[in-house]
Amino acid sequence: MTFGGAQRIAAAYGVALIAPDTSPRIKRGASHWCYGPGASWYVDATEPRWADNYQMYSYITKELPTLLNAQLPIAKDKYSIMGHSMGGHGALMLALKNPELYHSVSALAPASSTIRSSYGAKALRMYLGDDVAAWQAWDATELMLSKGPVSKYNILIDLGADDEFWHDDVQLHPEAFEAACNQVGQHLTFRAQDGYDHSWDFAATFMEDHIRHHVEALHSASS
């Protein structure tokens, strides 16, 4: 968000930005940028190696809001959620599991299905074990099929048309999420942006669009 100048944008619109880390910075054996200290996938881990500390779902949805409400002068019932890449999947998943908590959701280049992503599936196996059926509760596409539509959400997704994780090292699977939205009747705005890849430059370019998306939803919730 710093690279994208999000602070300036947020100040202009009068909103607070909260940016929790991707995971606990505690090593538990093997790690990689797509799992362990590099990426929690925002689940509550059940495998013994990870379960003590890797409870990011509970942290984001319970502990963090309690801390924010107690310590910051913000509206206590006005939350929206967004993210990029692994965090984009986290935003979609968290919003679908907690529609009472968030007024809107958006994602920049999200990994749209952990089960279909080799990186996501590897992380889920590490955190949750080998029962693939248990993974579905943490997969945004599967959650859309089981819990959608969420009528108050107009989901916004931007993705670089040249994203290497869409076309080459296939990890994002936006088509699966889009198909799930169409199947259940979920309102989705999906934009493939020409000339952009998965980089911070892409995220920075469309940051203001996404903040504005949430500002409009939060204002609508207040009216």
pLDDT digits (tens, 9 = 90+) for 176-191: 999 999 999 999 999 9
Task: Enter the tokens of residue 142.
Answer: 């599967």
| Residue 36 within a domain | yes
Tokens 């984009």 correspond to 88
What is the count of structural domains for the chain?
Answer: 1
Task: Say how far residue 101 (Cα) sits from the centre of its chain.
Answer: 14
**Cβ(83)–Cβ(107) below 8 Å:** yes
Q: How high is the pLDDT of residue 33?
A: 64
**Cα 19 to Cα 17: distance, rounded to the nearest angstrom:** 6
Residues in the chain predicted with pLDDT less than 50, given as ranges, are none
CA distance 48 to 199: 34
pLDDT computed for residue 36 by the predictor: 85
d(CA 216, CA 218): 6
Q: From the candidates 40, 85, 113, 117, give the one annotated as an active-site residue.
A: 85
Give domain status of residue 85, yes or no. Answer: yes
- 137 belongs to a structural domain: yes
Cα distances (angstroms) measured from residue 64 to each of 59, 69, 75, 136: 6, 9, 14, 24
Q: Among 40, 163, 210, 214, which one carries the catalytic annotation?
A: 163
Whole domain around residue 16: which residue ranges?
6-222
Q: What residues have CB less than 8 Å from 154, skipping those under 6 apart? A: 104, 187, 188, 189, 213, 217
Q: What are φ and ψ of residue 44, in 5° steps?
A: -100, 105
163 tagged catalytic: yes
Instruction: Report the C-alpha gap between 20 and 219 in whole angstroms.
Output: 24
pLDDT given for residue 223 in this prediction: 65
pTM: 0.95
Nearest CA to 110 out of 99, 97, 119 is that of: 119
144 belongs to a structural domain: yes
Please name which of 92, 79, 78, 28 lies closest in space to residue 55, comparing C-alpha atoms: 28
Q: Considering the domain boundaries, does residue 105 fall inside one?
A: yes
Pull the structure tokens for residue 222: 């207040």
Annotated active-site residue in 198, 210, 213, 214: 198
Q: Is residue 136 part of a domain?
A: yes
Q: Which two tokens stand for residue 178?
A: 């889009």
- Distance (Å) of CA 122 to CA 42, 78, 173: 14, 34, 16
Establish if 200 belongs to a structural domain.
yes
CATH of the domain at 48: 3.40.50.1820
Tokens of 68: 């924010």
pLDDT score for 27: 65
- Give domain status of residue 130, yes or no: yes
Assess whether 214 carries a catalytic annotation: no
pLDDT value, residue 132: 96
Q: What would the DSSP string read from start to end of 159-193? A: EETT-HHHHTS----HHHHHHHHHHHT--EEEEEE
